[in-house]
A and B are shown apart, each in its own frame.
Chain A
Amino acid sequence: MFIIDLIALFAIYLILNLSLNLQLGYAGIPNFGLVLAVTGGAFTVGWLPIRLCTWIFNIDSQLGGNIVKNNAIIVSQINRHIQSQPLIGLGVFILTLIVAMGVGGFLGFISSYPAIRLRADYLAITLLALGEVLSIIGRNYEPLVGGVIGIAVPDVWGWLGRDRFTLITVVLLAAAIGTFLFLEVLARSPLCRTFRAMRDNEVAASSMGKDVARIRLEVLVLGSMISGLAGALYAFYTCYVGPAVYGRLEWTFLPWLMVIFGGVGNNFGVALGTLVFITLRKLIVYYKYSFAFLPFDVVWLEYLLLGSMILLILIFRPSGILKEKPSQTMPQARLEKIVGEASRKESERQMESV
């Protein structure tokens, strides 16, 4: 059970970190407002499925007419329906994910539009400042996700029966691997080379006709869509959405630490970093009671450890555990063949001139 939960958490965070790697590692955009898109995705899951299912199953809205106030009762009714209707559960799941990605992308767009021409660190802190907006709205506008208390989420996997967590985790892992493959393919594409060119030297890239601001925006939107996906998956996994859960610490800062630790610009490094941090975290929480003698919550020791690890990495190995690989424009074998032919021709020519 411990392992299952670890893998699930790993999968979710991997998706989020890959999104950050895309924005930061490949396109050089320091998105310190990652939490915004994540919150957006999660809030979509808090808002849409319950209303969708209420409509589909014709659940009696006579229950006070207020979905949010009665969400516990309504959701338990929905869950009972879903247990016998797997297709609807799956359908709601997928539809909500798509909407969540859309919401994430939209949030990415509007939060970065004013800041897109700014220099890296100004962009970073602007995104940081704006990242909180949705959380604040969520906390105060009850109809959205139940205000401070939060709201329950229909269990779209209810039909899976007893082995549900294993199967859910498999799905999550599949989603993570899918994202990973998608981004790896993207990393080898000419589009990604444009990103990197822009990251390394904006002036040169724009003098080559690349509209830097627009590209940045596109990357941010794509990245935010993926972040939204991660947030939505987490919300579905925990069957609960509340503004308190989606804070800057857990959903912006920790991903940054994981990505930097693993290696910015290297998806494998990111996977490694995610694995290490998630495992560490699960271990500390699991053995929390062994630390019960300490007069404070042991989770702070974890953050202390994390913080110092990152500082050490930044000072002694800033490229992370696994460095960024240069982009491959063609397969290695073909490259070697071309170089081999060229040097052979050159030595032939030299021999002739002698």
Chain B
Amino acid sequence: MLSVTNLNSGYGKFHVLFDINIECGKSEIVSVIGPNGSGKTTLLNTIFGLADIFSGSIIFEGKKLNNMPPHEISKIGIAYLPQANNVFADLSVRENLLMAGYPLNSQELKSAMDDVFSIFPTLKSFLHRKAGTLSGGERQMLAIAMTLMRKPRLIMLDEPLSGLAPVICQKIIEKIVELRDKLGVGIVLVEQNAKKALDISDKTYLIVSGKNIFSGKPDELLRYGELVELYLGLKAEGK
């Protein structure tokens, strides 16, 4: 579904990613992990047209995304949940969902909101509250709900668990798995919390300093002791 091939990208003169290759298909959770500053967010930004591509290609369902502006990319079936500032704080919850479903007409909007409420029923209770007044967990729920408004086939999540209490994290992880299993969505998950990400991924990519130094199944990665310890701070499984 999504193929990133030999991607070199960055911001202006700043070269961040070097020859990155990523694949994500339907009903698949692909995790992108690595230390801070390796370029994980840049990868997601690049796919969504928010960074500069120096060479390489990004293809989604046969369409080349290389020079598309973000608001066009959002219409072809990909959704993006940024790490910070992922809701419109000054707008109400209802307005947030309205914006997330911007290209939809009123009928599609209604049905999308109904679907979203069935996955996140608590959102209904604070429809008219300003998004900035929600708690961290509630805000994250709203942010994820927003990504679902246009029924994307691929969702990119940038550190959805950061700054959240473990109980909420668990809930969100369950929702993410639910999305893959029930809706057949492909998910690209960038996560600082490598253990949790690896637990639910079908495939993983380890990115360090802009370079892809491992790609494959999570349990394969966990066997590479030094990598895991050095970059992820995890204990290797047997040596």
* A–B direct touch in complex (beta carbons closer than 8 A): no
Which residues of A are interface residues toward B (Cβ below 8 A)? none
